[in-house]
Amino acid sequence: MSGLPRWRPEVINRLPRWLSEIISIVLWWGTLALALWLLSQGLNRPPSLVACIASGALLAAVGETGDWLRRRRRTRRDRSEVRQGWTSHSE
């Protein structure tokens, strides 16, 4: 067992940002598609796996767009606070 490489969190930080984003989206999308498919199987209303994958892709796109907008709004707000000479951390 000592010959096997150990997984370390710092390895993820070595990946380029674009690659880590792609991996994150693909994992999230796959999890959503699997969850939708399992839910439909449990409700005895089985759609095709392709339909679940498409729905998962749509939900992932909406979620990522919302996250992007949230980060963009926070960045703009933080910049305007700095320009005005105050921050939310000051009392």
Give yes or no for residue 91 having a pLDDT over 70.
no
What are the pLDDT digits (tens) for 43-80?
888 788 888 888 888 888 888 889 889 988 888 777 77
pTM above 0.75, yes or no: no
- Using alpha carbons, list the distances in angstroms from residue 72 to 14, 15, 68, 75, 76: 24, 23, 6, 5, 6
Residue 89 is classified by DSSP as T
Helical axes 17-42 vs 49-83, angle rounded to 10°: 130
Pick the residue with more confidence: 75 or 82?
A: 75
The tens digit of pLDDT for each residue in 10-24 reads 655 677 888 888 888
Q: Among the residues of the chain, which ranges form H helices?
A: 9-14, 17-42, 49-83
